[in-house]
């Protein structure tokens, strides 16, 4: 029981672990846990569109894919040029003391290998989450976000993910709630 509790405390650190790329973008910010939640939702939607995909596996993989960052922190593209992270050790150390640790490790390794359909879908979900956030930052006035969007879209592999990205780029990030109905906004 103690090992499970310690594992849950460790996973909780992801709520406090910032995604580090936003320091270069200049605006925005989220925790690794914030990011993983929406990646899981996106992975579910992508996997449901693929008849051969194991939806549960894709969702679990997306929830677990950044677990090592509880120990390593989130390393952005600049960090990775100078810092070598032993993600293999982090994965093994965080998972070895609980009975389902082997499954968690296997899903993280599968994600990193990008060989399975589910791993490719979760990578697309990972990028789509970032694309959604970059679009939001662009809509809020961050000019750098547009350039970052170009590169993020190029990382997508599935046709459906590419179509979603095209629609994201055409949609105002506040459209889902801001109806711009004058009567509502003027008279409440």
Averaged pLDDT score across all residues of the chain: 94
pLDDT of residue 178: 84
The rounded distance, in Å, linking the Cα atoms of 110 and 54 is 13
pLDDT of residue 158: 95
35-43 long-range contacts, CB within 8 A, separation 24+: 35/66, 35/129, 36/62, 36/63, 36/65, 36/66, 38/129, 38/132, 39/63, 39/65, 39/122, 39/125, 39/126, 39/129, 40/125, 42/124, 42/125, 42/128, 42/129, 43/121, 43/122, 43/125
183 part of a folded domain: no
Structural domain including 76 reads 2-126
The rounded distance, in Å, linking the Cα atoms of 111 and 58 is 9
| pLDDT band at residue 151 under the 50/70/90 scheme | very high
* Total count of domains within the chain: 1
188 part of a folded domain: no
State yes or no: pLDDT of 176 exceeds 70: yes
State yes or no: pLDDT of 6 exceeds 80: yes
pLDDT of residue 187: 73
The closest alpha carbon to 153, from 145, 143, 161, belongs to: 161
State yes or no: pLDDT of 180 exceeds 80: no
State yes or no: pLDDT of 102 exceeds 80: yes
pLDDT of residue 122: 98
112 part of a folded domain: yes
| pLDDT band at residue 188 under the 50/70/90 scheme | low
| pLDDT band at residue 51 under the 50/70/90 scheme | very high
**Mean pLDDT confidence for 109-138:** 98
Categorise residue 105: left if φ over 0, alpha if ψ from -120 to 50, beta otherwise. Answer: alpha
159 part of a folded domain: no
Spacing of C-alpha 84 from chain mean position: 21
pLDDT of residue 30: 95
| pLDDT band at residue 77 under the 50/70/90 scheme | confident
28 part of a folded domain: yes
State yes or no: pLDDT of 183 exceeds 80: no
Token pair recorded at residue 167: 């629609």
50 part of a folded domain: yes
15 part of a folded domain: yes
Bridge partners of 63, per DSSP, are none
Instruction: Provide the CATH number for the domain around residue 49.
Output: 1.10.3210.10
180 part of a folded domain: no
């Amino acid at each position: 029981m103690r090992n499970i509790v310690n594992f849950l405390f460790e996973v909780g650190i992801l709520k406090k672990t910032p995604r580090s790329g936003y320091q270069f973008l200049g605006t925005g910010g989220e925790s690794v846990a914030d990011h993983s939640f929406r990646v899981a939702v996106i992975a579910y939607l992508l996997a449901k569109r693929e008849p051969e995909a194991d939806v549960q596996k894709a969702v679990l993989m997306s929830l677990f894919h950044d677990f090592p960052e509880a120990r390593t922190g989130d390393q952005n593209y600049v960090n990775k040029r100078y810092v070598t992270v032993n993600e293999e050790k982090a994965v093994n150390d965080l998972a070895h003391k609980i009975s389902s640790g082997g499954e968690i490790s296997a899903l993280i390794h599968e994600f990193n290998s990008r060989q399975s359909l589910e791993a490719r879908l979760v990578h697309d979900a990972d990028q789509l989450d970032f694309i959604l956030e970059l679009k939001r930052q662009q809509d809020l006035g961050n000019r750098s976000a547009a350039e970052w969007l170009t590169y993020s879209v190029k990382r997508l592999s599935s046709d459906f993910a590419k179509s979603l990205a095209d629609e994201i780029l055409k949609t105002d990030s506040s459209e889902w709630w801001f109806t711009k109905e004058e009567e509502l906004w003027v008279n409440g």
